[in-house]
Structures are given as structure tokens and as C-alpha cells.
């Protein structure tokens, strides 16, 4: 059984990164792998099926509702971006965008926060390099903030789902309680960093522009993919439980933190499904989640807002890495110090 799970885990970690078609159809691939993992461990029962059908509903409804709201408000966003920027100045405007999108992503979802970011950036008058810096730092902020509630992004949805039973008894506010004291100030700090990288707004070369506009069909398709994605992660989490209980739960918290730098190249929600379990201690859970959250911003594949923003604004992997790698590694080092000092509990 363990050998079979290790093979499935290896496929989950390697194939999306190595095979373009699998990366494009990640939800279907993970669903197949989740079904395989549950089958190998013989964990099929009505409770699991019920959980897989019900668990995705909250975030799916949130994604659909926020997507429809964004679709209606989009013309107003486009109309007011430049006027607000002129009134308060570019640097304060960038600070507010980065911080507010980060904080509100836990309510409007990381997906819609990324769509709003794309819309705003498309109407700014900065050069391409500066706008890329703003986008990358904004996606770090969105990834941080969205992790605070189970409707923010799949990572938090799956984490809450896997920890809702004893001994952790995770509820809607579980992640706010344990990670909020470090994540919320970090979102503000990222906003300050974004202020420092913007210039006076003079455009010496064409800036970023959105490619492809949001349609109702896009909202429906994205909603369906999120539902299937969460269902797949529920199956993966149930299937990998023997591995988590036997091996992952025994890894020291500081090692888990650095292992999760893998989140830079693998979607962090997938890693949550493979790693987090009720048998883990709180310090292990916090370290593992923070490693995933921080590293998720380093490269494009690491997080949903990165993928959406880079795709719509045609940001290349090298362009993203030029900003994401040094900034992300600096954050990894800083958070490691906080964890080792016992400031993250």
C-alpha cells in the first residue's frame, strides 16, 4: 500500500511540472490521482463521498458569486482607476491596492482578487518592468491574505477540511487565529515594499495589458474547475492519510518549512492535501502552511493568483522569477527566524 501511495505522490509532484497537457488539465489529473489513492488504501465509504461532494460547495459558491460581482463592477473599476491614482498619488495607490487585495482576498477569493489586479494594472501608466514588480508583490499579498479563510483559496479550504476533527477542531476562523497575527502585518509590509519599487509612473515602454476579457462562460468554467479541484484534493488527502500519519507527522517543523519550498513549482493546495493531517502538532502545521504560503509566490505555478495574472498579462516565467525568487527567499528566511523564535504559535 505504502509503495503504491509513494508512486501516486511522485506522479502528482512530477507530471504537472513536466507535462504541459497535464498542467493545463490539472483538475482532471488530480481527480484521477485522488481516486487512485483512495482505491489503493481501500478508504472508500459514504462519509468520504459525502465530504468530497459537500466540501467544495462553500468556495465554489464564493468563486461564482465574486466572479459575477466582478463582471458587473469591472467597467466601474476601469473608469475610476486613473482618477483615484491622480488624487492620492501613485505610491499610496499602489500600497492600497496591494494591501486591500491581500486582505479582501480572504472574502472575494484569490481568483477574483487576481482578476481585479489584472484590471487595475492594465489602466496604470507605469513601464512594463515596474508593473511586473507590482503584480508579483500583489500576488504574494493575495496568496497570504487568501489563506486566512476556507473560502479564500483551495489551500485554506483543504487545510480546514483536514483539521476540522479532534484534536484541532478547525473552524472558519482557525487559520485567522493561528496565522493571522503574522500574515496580516506581512500583507502591510508587502504593500510598503511595493511602494518602494514604483517610480513616478512615466512609461518608457508599453505596459502590461490584459489578453482576453472575462465572459459569463469563463465564470462558469472556472467555478466548475474549482469544484472538481477541491473534490480531487479531498480524495488525495484521504488517500495519503497513512503516509501523513506514518511519516510526515514525524518530520520536524523546521524541516517541513523548508521542504515546502516545493510550493514554488507545485500548486500549494496539492501539497496541503499530501502533507497536512490531524496527527500533526500545531507547530508543525503552522510551519508547513507558512512554508507553502510564502513559497507559493516565488514562481508562476505556485499559486492560483500567479497563474491567472501571468496568463492574462502575458508575464514570462523568467520575468516573474527575477522578482519572485529574491523576494520570496528573503521572506522564507524572515519567516523561518520568526518560527524558530517561537513567534508563530
pTM for the whole structure:
0.86
Instruction: Compute φ and ψ for 255, nearest 5 degrees.
Output: -75, -40
Does residue 180 lie within any of the structural domains? yes
Does residue 345 lie within any of the structural domains? no
In whole angstroms, how far apart are CA 103 and each of 48, 71, 139, 187?
A: 32, 20, 12, 7
Q: How many residues does the chain have?
A: 345
Asked if 145 and 103 count as a contact pair (C-beta separation under 8 A), the reply is: yes
Q: CA 5 to CA 274: how far, in whole Å?
A: 10
Q: CA 269 to CA 237: how far, in whole Å?
A: 10
Read off the C-alpha cell for 98: 496591494
Residue with grid cell 518608457, as numbered in its chain: 204
Does residue 33 lie within any of the structural domains? yes
Domains held by the chain: number: 1
Does residue 238 lie within any of the structural domains? yes
Interacting residues of 146 by C-beta distance below 8 A, sequence separation 6+: 105, 106, 109, 110, 113, 152, 153, 155, 156, 305
Does residue 328 lie within any of the structural domains? yes
Does residue 323 lie within any of the structural domains? yes
Per the structure, the complete domain to which residue 26 belongs is given by: 2-340
Per-residue pLDDT of the chain (345 residues; tens, 9 = 90+): 788 888 998 888 788 778 888 877 888 998 999 999 999 998 899 999 999 999 999 899 988 998 888 888 777 776 788 788 888 988 999 999 999 999 999 999 999 999 999 999 988 878 889 999 999 999 999 999 999 999 999 999 999 999 998 899 999 999 999 999 999 999 999 999 999 988 654 455 556 766 566 678 888 988 998 999 899 988 988 888 888 877 887 899 999 999 999 888 778 888 898 889 888 999 999 999 999 999 999 988 889 899 889 988 889 889 999 999 999 999 999 999 999 988 776
Does residue 229 lie within any of the structural domains? yes
Nearest CA-CA partner of 290 in 242, 239, 253: 253
Read off the C-alpha cell for 253: 517543523
Alpha helices (H) along 198-246: 216-239, 241-246
Alpha-carbon Rg for the chain, nearest whole angstrom, is 19
In whole angstroms, how far apart are CA 74 and each of 104, 181, 314?
A: 17, 32, 20
Does residue 171 lie within any of the structural domains? yes
Q: CA 114 to CA 120: how far, in whole Å?
A: 10
Amino acid at each position: 500500500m505504502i509503495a503504491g501511495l509513494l508512486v501516486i505522490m511522485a506522479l502528482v509532484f512530477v507530471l504537472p511540472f513536466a507535462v504541459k497537457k497535464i498542467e493545463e488539465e490539472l483538475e482532471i489529473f488530480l481527480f484521477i490521482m485522488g481516486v487512485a489513492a483512495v482505491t489503493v488504501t481501500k478508504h472508500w465509504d459514504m462519509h468520504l463521498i459525502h465530504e468530497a461532494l459537500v466540501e467544495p460547495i462553500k468556495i465554489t459558491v464564493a468563486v461564482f458569486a465574486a466572479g459575477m460581482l466582478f463582471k458587473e463592477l469591472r467597467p466601474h473599476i476601469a473608469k475610476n482607476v486613473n482618477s483615484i491614482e491622480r488624487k492620492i498619488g501613485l505610491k499610496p495607490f499602489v500600497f492600497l491596492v496591494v494591501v486591500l487585495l491581500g486582505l479582501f482576498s480572504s472574502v472575494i477569493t484569490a481568483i477574483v482578487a487576481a482578476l481585479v489586479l489584472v484590471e487595475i494594472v492594465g489602466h496604470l501608466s507605469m513601464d512594463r518592468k515596474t508593473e511586473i514588480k507590482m503584480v508579483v508583490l500583489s500576488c504574494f499579498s493575495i496568496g497570504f491574505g487568501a489563506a486566512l479563510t476556507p473560502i479564500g483559496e483551495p489551500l485554506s479550504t483543504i487545510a480546514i477540511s483536514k483539521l476540522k476533527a479532534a484534536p484541532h477542531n478547525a473552524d472558519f476562523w482557525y487559520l485567522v487565529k493561528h496565522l493571522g497575527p503574522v500574515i496580516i502585518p506581512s500583507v502591510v509590509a508587502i504593500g510598503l515594499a511595493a511602494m518602494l519599487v514604483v517610480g513616478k509612473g512615466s512609461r518608457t515602454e508599453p505596459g502590461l495589458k490584459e489578453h482576453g476579457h472575462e465572459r459569463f462562460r469563463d465564470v462558469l468554467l472556472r467555478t466548475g474547475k474549482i469544484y472538481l479541484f477541491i473534490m480531487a484534493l479531498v480524495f488525495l488527502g484521504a488517500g495519503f492519510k497513512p503516509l501523513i500519519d506514518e511519516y510526515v507527522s514525524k518530520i520536524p517543523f523546521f524541516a517541513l518549512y523548508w521542504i515546502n519550498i516545493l510550493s514554488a513549482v507545485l500548486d500549494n493546495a496539492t501539497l496541503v492535501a499530501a502533507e497536512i493531517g490531524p496527527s500533526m502538532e500545531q507547530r508543525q502545521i503552522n510551519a508547513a502552511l507558512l512554508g507553502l504560503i510564502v513559497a507559493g509566490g516565488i514562481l508562476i505555478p505556485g499559486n492560483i493568483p500567479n497563474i491567472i495574472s501571468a496568463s492574462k498579462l502575458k508575464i514570462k516565467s523568467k520575468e516573474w522569477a527575477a522578482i519572485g525568487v529574491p523576494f520570496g527567499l528573503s521572506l522564507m528566511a524572515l519567516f523561518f527566524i520568526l518560527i524558530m523564535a517561537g513567534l508563530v504559535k
